[in-house]
Amino acid sequence: MRAARLIKMVLLLQSRPTMTAAELAKELEVSERTVTRDAQALSEAGVPVYADRGRAGGYRLVGGYRTRLTGLARHEAEALFLSGLPSALREMGLDDAASAARLKVSAALLPSLRDASQTAAQRFHLDAPGWYHEPVTPELLPAVAEAVWDDRVVRAGYRRGPTGEVEREMSPYGLVLKAGVWYLCARVGDDFRVYRIDRFTAVAVSATRFERDEDFDLPRFWEERAAQFARSILRTEVTVRLSGAGVRRLPYAVDRAAADEALAAAGPPDADGWRTLTLPVESEDVAYGQLLSLGPELEVLAPAALRERVADAAERLRDLYG
């Protein structure tokens, strides 16, 4: 533990001209007294750490000293490619590995380029979770992530439906973070399946490693499955008329792909500039909430029950606003 901390201290000092004891203590998560002892230990080991006294003082390396302890470990290199997803790294338990990898890269750069990571972080940030939802980290995510990194077989309990639970042995191929929700893409037997991480009730990581199919393409697999899922839940059709404004707003109210397909198949506008189309939806209940958001820019023609519900909502709105 202390050896790793001493190495990190050298890399920090190598990547910056000077650092105060307080700055080093914060980075190393130790006390300033421990920083002083570590600096003395490094000096005794032949690393030229020099302490400048006074208000503008701090620790620095003398004479352009550079260490060669900058080689990336495999898990650090892998984590570095995910460094644009800080929250995802924390949830998977990889933030320490990514921090060490960034520090090693920074220490290996020319002095004129050492602020590159800081300037990039000031300009770009990826916020994966959707709006209005408090992101919750699944408790079992770090264990699943460890199995994914090491290609280890997993035996897991999975909650399927409100009461049912199944147990599966699976080969975890990859993790996907979609709008703040974590999913596992895994092979079960000869099939590839998708599981929500927050529905796992237990995860046992085996010592057995599985042989990964090198042809498996995680982004392509996810794109195909996501499209299949989106199509599979659209089991009902409604017929609507839309104004020009309604046509423009429709893709933001319902499934975008379904809206685009319905608009492409629709006929030309009528004399009033309205278009009639048949739209796939998940259910009448879901469609009711989605289509109401279009207000007077949409008229439901069928089914009759949905038309009556929307008409009733319009009547109540009129009564409410007088």
Q: Among all chains, which residue has been given the structure tokens 């993790």?
A: 175
More confident position, 122 or 182: 182
CA distance linking residue 235 with residue 279, whole number of Å: 10
**All residues at 6 or more sequence positions from 219 whose CB lies less than 8 Å from its CB, including other chains:** none
235-249 confidence digits (pLDDT tens): 899 999 999 999 999
Q: Indicate the DSSP class of residue 17.
A: S
Q: Assess contact for 222 and 176: CB atoms under 8 A.
A: yes
CA distance linking residue 148 with residue 171, whole number of Å: 8
Proportion of the chain above pLDDT 70, given as a percent: 76
pLDDT confidence of residue 299? 96
Proportion of the chain above pLDDT 90, given as a percent: 40
**Structure-token pair, residue 105:** 């890269």
**All residues at 6 or more sequence positions from 57 whose CB lies less than 8 Å from its CB, including other chains:** 20, 51
**All residues at 6 or more sequence positions from 262 whose CB lies less than 8 Å from its CB, including other chains:** 277, 278, 279, 280
DSSP string, 197-231: GGGEEEEEEEEEEP---TT--HHHHHHHHHHHHHH
pLDDT at 112 over 60: no
Band of residue 295 on the pLDDT scale cut at 50, 70, 90: very high
**All residues at 6 or more sequence positions from 218 whose CB lies less than 8 Å from its CB, including other chains:** 173, 174, 176, 185
7-40 confidence digits (pLDDT tens): 788 888 887 778 888 889 888 888 888 988 888 8
